[in-house]
């Protein structure tokens, strides 16, 4: 069944009941301050780094799921027959019965509205552009015919900044909490650790006078009470408690008198403030509140909050205006035109750090992940993509390999997941090529970029690319295929790990550095990006390097032909003993999706029918109603020579789960064969909007992609896990925008190459590209799957199917006739 619907006009998903099958969340913020916000007002916020600068506390793996957030409690003293009571307008945490409920998740904001016994509540939450804070505009309206007296209590629980310590180091934490209170309690400052090494504090404030406040959790809730039964709210009077140690919170108590029909609005601000080292204090023990005062001044009225929200809306309108789709298939149009791109912004910002499946304390930015995220983001804000590329490249080692992840605050590579994932270097070529194709900015190649974050080891970005390209060549195994190292794209194919110790990391352990285990996938990636590298060389006057690159690519194709083909599909890898993985000879794991998708995407086997054979095998062995599973048969037993992949129960994650991230590779590969109907089918199977009616099984948000959907071997086949932070976002965008709808940036312009179901008769795409707007109408009255018969540009016949770079700030009308 459904739990809501899309509102395409307002670009919102409207949730119509609070008890969704899992918390359905949104992200507030698109620059450096972020909030996770669920449909019942759960979640938390942080500035820049989810681990190091966490403003509010969130308990993972909690019972019930999603407890804790920015809560409001209402104590309606009643009127007429109604004797009044206490309730949660966002449903959680009290799970109050509501007469009305709706949550609208939009682009960077969410709105919850509800009503009970004639009192209506609405909360609009967002992070304004340019400021480091969340705004929660709350409106109460008396819809009854009698006057109402309402006590409203706000509630946030502060995190002691370092989210990891906050959840573990209680012997210290219970003694360090400090707050300051001003304006009679309407401004609450959380200043734990400010006296020593921090120069930042948090503020939780409301724009009206308050009746009281609380900053000590136990006083507010009662020691044996949960968020669902706050003692103070039931009593109806704040205690003006001042936290000292234990758990600092922020709660305002506001008396609201509402005549029949009257409404009142309040602006709550939850902000992050920083002071220069020498201006930390106003006087002994009193923090310098200047930055907080300026922020609160700015958002001191509901009108100011509305204005900030309007600017945010304009911002998103213009961003999403860069690529729009209009088609009869509304599900595809809204995903490709709105939600998929929105998710790409989120993955660009978060990498894999903070979601309801990623704790925000473990994983930083990934070398591989962040490069891939760029593919779906670069058309939105190319300048930020540029900066990101340079940050990522700076964590590369001089030999071309890379730290697998880096910290967003320091931008330095770290060893938490180690290095030696031998696919990593190649993703940098992907990212840079995508950026250049989008912008035409070859200048980025001349930027000086450190290796290993060491300025003394700086070289141009081009040198980084060269090292990336050479890495798999210099690190080839016995068959001439690239060595896999710790793992390749599949983090769980740990062929040199050989772990028998519980808890040992599959990714950082190498008990047996074989120097033998090889990856056909890395070979496929190499063949895919190699031509881009060669092209970049040629276009920047490096003719010899281009020729060398082309030779190496041809050599790699030959190697895959000789050692990477299994008869009906491409092999996946060779293990540390040189035994095949992903072969008919194997008992389990006979066929894998990744190497087949990538090899065909790269064009291997297109001429001799092997590409078609490989994709037919994928369909036959790996397909399911919910997408293509990663391999078959699933591993039934743990294989020490394979690593984490065989540690998962069959049907989950890398062990034959539907790992959505790699499904678009097959989609793209299908377009190479010109099979538009099949390409579109593989696209829709993992696309959340097509599964909206099936939300009880799928469970996660129908507006965003999930990393994994349980495969055919799993008990709940079709159930999704790990929504939001996944490479699926970028790759599905690439598959639909570039390869199905077929509007793809190339070095010289926009290539038009649709590959669609023959039943799709017409669609339009608008694309902002290098300074001009392209309004493209594709006419497929011929009912073909691929093939362009003619193109006109502004009414004139156009030769070939690459649209030129106009860069004239104008709108150009393009008509594409398929046939
Ligand atoms: C997961 C992978 C993930 C990796 C990160 C593994 O447990 O299965 O999907 O990328 O952890 O280190
Ligand atoms: C999730 C990781 O973020 C991604 O980098 C990896 O490719 C997949 N897991 C597959 O293991």
Q: What distance in Å separates the CA atoms of residue 76 and residue 119, rounded to the nearest whole number? A: 8
What gap in Å lies between CA 712 and CA 706, rounded to an integer?
A: 17
Looking at the predicted structure, is the pLDDT value of residue 363 above 80? no
For residue 593, the SS3 value is: helix
Of the residues 353, 723, 727, which should be mutated to test ligand 2's pocket, given the most ligand atoms within 8 Å of the CB? 727
The rounded Å distance from CA 617 to ligand 2 centre is 24
Ligand 1 centroid, distance to 366 Cα (angstroms) = 12
Looking at the CA of residue 372, tell me the nearest atom of ligand 2.
5
* DSSP per-residue letters across 31-72: SSEEEEEETTSB--EEES-TTTSEEE---TT-SSSS--BSEE
Closest C-alpha residue for ligand 1 atom 11: 491
pLDDT at residue 364, rounded to an integer: 75
Q: Tell me, what's the pLDDT at 81?
A: 77
Distance CA 185, CA 163 (A): 26
CA dihedral 693, 697, 701, 703 (to 10 degrees): -40
Residue 755 region, left (φ>0) first, then alpha (ψ -120 to 50), else beta? beta
Nearest-CA residue for atom 10 of ligand 1: 491
Nearest of 310, 292, 265, 269 to residue 70 by alpha carbon: 269
Rounded mean pLDDT of the chain? 97
Ligand 2 close to Cβ of residue 653 (< 6 A): no
Residue 404 CA, closest ligand 1 atom number: 12
| Helices assigned H by DSSP within 197-339 | 217-221, 231-235, 290-298, 302-320, 330-334
Beta strand spans in 309-399 (E): 323-327, 365-366
Sign of CA dihedral 221, 227, 232, 238: positive
pLDDT band at 586 (very low <50, low <70, confident <90, very high): very high
> Residue 590 in contact with residue 583, Cβ under 8 Å?
yes
Are 552 and 473 within 8 A, CB to CB? Answer: yes
pLDDT score, position 378: 98
Do 254 and 206 meet the contact criterion of CB atoms below 8 Å apart? Answer: yes
Q: Are 460 and 446 in contact (CB under 8 A)?
A: yes
**Best mutation site among 351, 363, 491 for ligand 1, i.e. most ligand atoms within 8 A of its Cβ?**
491
The CA dihedral of 433, 436, 442, 443, to the nearest 10 degrees, is: -110
Structure tokens at 126: 């967002």
The SS3 of residue 225 is coil
- Give the C-alpha separation, 16 to 334, whole Å: 19
pLDDT at 80 exceeding the cut of 80: no
CB-CB contact of 667 with 737 (8 Å)? no
Nearest CA to ligand 1 atom 2: 491
Residue-wise pLDDT tens digits, 102-130: 999 999 999 999 999 999 999 999 999 99
From the CB of 369, is ligand 2 less than 6 Å away? yes
Q: Give the active site residues.
A: 491
Mean pLDDT of all residues in 75-97: 91
β-bridge mates for residue 483, sequence order? 518
pLDDT in tens, 475-487: 999 999 999 999 9
413: CA distance to ligand 1 center in Å?
18
Cα distance between residue 139 and residue 266, in whole Å: 6
* pLDDT higher at 311 or 84: 311
Percent of the chain surpassing pLDDT 70: 100
Please, are residues 266 and 206 in contact by the beta-carbon 8 Å criterion? yes
Please say whether the beta carbons of 201 and 287 come within 8 A. Answer: yes
- Cβ–ligand 2 contact at 166 (below 6 Å): no
Query: Mean of the pLDDT values across residues 611-634?
Result: 98
Residues whose CB falls within 8 Å of the CB of residue 515, separated by 6 or more in sequence, listed in order: 477, 483
Top pLDDT among 362 and 636 is at: 636
In the numeric block, which tokens belong to residue 529?
Answer: 């990006």
Q: Whose CA is nearest to atom 3 of ligand 1?
A: 491
CA torsion sign for 163, 703, 621, 717 is positive
- Average pLDDT value for residue range 32-54: 97
- Secondary structure percentages of the chain, helix, strand, coil, to 5: 30, 30, 40
pLDDT of residue 296: 98
**Residue 83 above 90 pLDDT?**
no
How many angstroms from the chain centroid is the CA of residue 7?
22
- Please list, residue by residue across 104-142, b when 16 or more beta carbons sit within 10 angstroms of its beta carbon and e when fewer do: bbbbbbbbbbbbbbbbbbbbbbbbbeebbbbbbbbebbb
pLDDT class of 49 with cuts at 50, 70, 90: very high
Q: What is the pLDDT of residue 499?
A: 97
- Which ranges of 481-568 does DSSP label H, i.e. alpha helix? 520-539, 543-563
Distance 242 CA to ligand 2 centre (A): 45
Q: Is 524 helix (H, G, I), strand (E, B) or coil?
A: helix
pLDDT (tens digit, 9 = 90+) per residue, 747-806? Answer: 999 999 999 999 999 999 999 999 999 999 999 999 999 999 999 999 999 999 999 999
What residue's CA is closest to ligand 1, atom 5?
A: 491
Q: Is the pLDDT of residue 682 over 80?
A: yes
Scanning the structure block, which residue is given the tokens 């391999």?
631
Q: Report which of 720, 605, 596, 606 is spatially closest to residue 667, judged by C-alpha positions.
A: 596
Q: Which ligand is nearest to the CA of 373?
A: 2
Distance 364 CA to ligand 2 centre (A): 13
Question: Considering Cα of 613, then 618, then 621, then 627, what sign does the dihedral take?
Answer: negative
* Binding pocket residue ranges, ligand 1, CB within 6 Å: 417, 491-492, 507, 644, 653-654
Task: For residues 29 and 26, give the distance between their C-alpha atoms in angstroms, rounded to a whole number.
Answer: 10
Cross-strand partners of 796: 793
pLDDT of 516: 97
Stretch 217-239: mean pLDDT: 97
- How far apart (Å, rounded) are the C-alpha atoms in residues 242 and 219? 9
For residue 362, what pLDDT is reported?
Answer: 80
Instruction: Say if ligand 2 is within 6 A of residue 366 CB.
Output: yes
Q: What predicted TM-score, i.e. pTM, was given to this entire model? A: 0.98
Q: Which pLDDT does position 597 carry in this prediction?
A: 98
Phi, psi of 561 (to 5 degrees): -60, -40
Q: Compute CA 67 distance to the chain's CA centroid, rounded to the nearest angstrom.
A: 22
Round to whole Å and give the CA distance between 57 and 162: 10
| Backbone phi, psi, residue 194, to 5° | -70, -30
**Does residue 79 register a pLDDT over 80?**
no
pLDDT tens for each residue of 179-199: 999 999 999 999 999 999 999
Instruction: Looking at the CA of residue 653, tell me the nearest atom of ligand 1.
Output: 8
Phi, psi of 112 (to 5 degrees): -110, 130
- Which single residue is written with the structure tokens 């050692």? 563
Least Cα distance to 350 among 12, 701, 733, 28 occurs for: 28
CA 688 to CA 24: how far, in whole Å? 13
How many angstroms separate the CA atoms of 662 and 667, rounded?
9
Per-residue pLDDT tens for 373-397?
999 999 999 999 999 999 999 999 9
Helix, strand, or coil (residue 542): coil
pLDDT attached to residue 140:
98
Task: Say how far apart CA 312 and CA 532 lie, in whole Å.
Answer: 36
Distance 627 CA to ligand 2 centre (A): 17
Which two tokens mark 154? 């706000």
- Confidence category of residue 78, pLDDT binned at 50, 70, 90: confident
Extract the tokens encoding 472: 């798999």
Strands, E, within 584-717: which ranges? 591-592, 631-632, 658-659, 706-709
Q: How far apart are CA 75 and CA 83, in angstroms?
A: 11
Q: How far is the CA of 612 from the centre of ligand 1 (A)?
A: 31
Question: H/E element holding 462?
Answer: helix 461-474
pLDDT at 82: 79
């Amino acid at each position: 069944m459904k739990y809501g619907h899309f509102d395409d006009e307002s670009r919102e998903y409207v949730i119509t009941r609070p008890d969704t099958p899992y918390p359905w969340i949104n992200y507030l913020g698109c620059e450096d301050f972020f909030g996770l916000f669920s449909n019942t007002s759960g979640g938390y916020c942080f500035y820049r780094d989810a681990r190091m600068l966490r403003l509010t506390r969130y308990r993972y793996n909690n019972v019930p799921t999603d407890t804790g957030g920015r809560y409001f409690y209402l104590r309606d003293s009643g009127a007429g027959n109604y004797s009044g009571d206490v309730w949660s307008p966002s449903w959680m945490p009290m799970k109050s019965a509501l007469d009305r409920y709706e949550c609208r998740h939009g682009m960077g904001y969410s709105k919850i509205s509800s009503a009970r016994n004639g009192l209506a509540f609405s909360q609009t939450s967002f992070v304004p552009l340019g400021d480091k804070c969340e705004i929660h505009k709350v409106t109460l309206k008396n819809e009854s015919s009698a006057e109402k007296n309402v006590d409203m209590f706000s509630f946030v629980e502060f995190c002691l900044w370092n989210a990891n310590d906050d959840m573990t180091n209680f012997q210290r934490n219970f003694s360090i909490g400090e707050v300051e209170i001003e304006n009679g309690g309407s401004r609450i400052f959380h200043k734990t650790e400010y006296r020593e090494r921090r120069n930042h504090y948090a503020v939780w404030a409301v724009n009206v006078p308050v009746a009281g406040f609380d900053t000590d959790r136990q006083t507010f809730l009662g020691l044996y009470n949960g968020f669902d039964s706050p003692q103070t709210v039931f009593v109806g009077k704040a205690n003006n408690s001042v936290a000292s140690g234990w758990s600092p919170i922020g709660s305002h108590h506001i008396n609201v008198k509402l005549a029949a029909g009257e409404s009142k609005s309040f602006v709550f601000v939850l902000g992050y403030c920083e002071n220069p080292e020498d201006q930390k204090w106003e006087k002994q023990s009193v923090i310098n509140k200047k930055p907080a005062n300026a922020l609160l001044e700015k958002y001191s009225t509901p009108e100011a909050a509305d204005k900030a929200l309007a600017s945010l809306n304009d911002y998103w309108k213009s961003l999403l205006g860069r690529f729009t789709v209009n088609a009869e298939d509304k599900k595809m149009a809204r995903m490709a035109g709105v939600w998929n791109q929105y998710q790409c912004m989120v993955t660009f910002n978060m990498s894999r750090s903070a979601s309801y499946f990623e704790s925000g304390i473990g994983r930083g930015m990934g070398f591989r992940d962040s490069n891939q995220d760029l593919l779906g983001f670069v058309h939105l804000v190319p300048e930020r993509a540029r900066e990101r590329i340079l940050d990522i490249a700076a964590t590369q080692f001089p030999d071309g390999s890379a730290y697998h992840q880096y910290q967003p605050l320091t931008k330095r590579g770290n060893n938490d997941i180690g290095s030696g994932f031998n696919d990593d270097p190649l993703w940098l070529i992907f990212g840079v090529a995508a950026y250049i194709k989008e912008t035409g900015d070859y200048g980025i190649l001349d930027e000086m970029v450190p290796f290993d974050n060491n300025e003394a080891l700086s070289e141009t970005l081009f040198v980084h690319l060269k090292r990336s390209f050479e890495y798999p060549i210099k690190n080839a195994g016995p068959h001439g295929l690239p060595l896999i190292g710790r793992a390749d794209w599949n983090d769980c194919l740990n062929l040199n790990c050989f772990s028998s110790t519980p808890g040992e990391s599959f990714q950082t352990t190498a008990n047996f550095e074989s120097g033998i285990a090889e990856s056909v996938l890395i070979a496929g990636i190499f063949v895919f990006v190699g031509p881009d590298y060669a092209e970049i060389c040629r276009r920047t006057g490096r003719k010899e390097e281009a020729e060398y690159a082309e030779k190496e690519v041809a050599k790699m194709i030959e190697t895959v032909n000789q050692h990477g083909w299994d008869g009906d599909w491409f092999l996946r890898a060779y293990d540390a003993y040189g035994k095949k993985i992903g072969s008919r000879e194997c008992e389990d794991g006979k066929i894998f999706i990744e190497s087949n998708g990538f090899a065909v995407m790269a064009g291997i086997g297109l001429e001799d029918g092997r590409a078609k054979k490989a994709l037919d095998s994928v369909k036959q062995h790996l397909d399911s109603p919910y997408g293509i599973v990663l391999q078959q048969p699933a591993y039934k037993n743990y294989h020490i020579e394979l690593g984490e992949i065989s540690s998962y129960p069959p049907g989950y994650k890398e062990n034959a789960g539907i790992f959505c991230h790699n499904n678009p590779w097959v989609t793209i590969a299908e377009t190479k064969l010109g099979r538009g109907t099949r390409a579109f089918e593989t696209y829709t199977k993992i696309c959340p909007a097509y599964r909206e009616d099936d939300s009880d099984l799928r469970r996660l948000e129908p507006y965003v992609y999930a990393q994994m959907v349980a495969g055919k071997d799993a008990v709940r086949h079709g159930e999704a896990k790990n929504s939001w932070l996944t490479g699926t976002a970028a790759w599905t965008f690439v598959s639909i925008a570039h390869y199905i709808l077929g509007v793809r940036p190339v070095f010289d312009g926009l290539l038009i190459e649709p590959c669609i179901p023959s039943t799709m008769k017409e669609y339009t795409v608008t694309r902002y590209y290098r300074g001009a707007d392209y309004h493209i109408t594709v006419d497929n009255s011929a009912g073909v799957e691929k093939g362009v018969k003619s193109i006109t540009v502004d009414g004139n016949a156009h030769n070939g199917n690459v649209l030129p770079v106009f860069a004239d700030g104008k709108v150009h009308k393009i008509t594409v006739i398929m046939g």
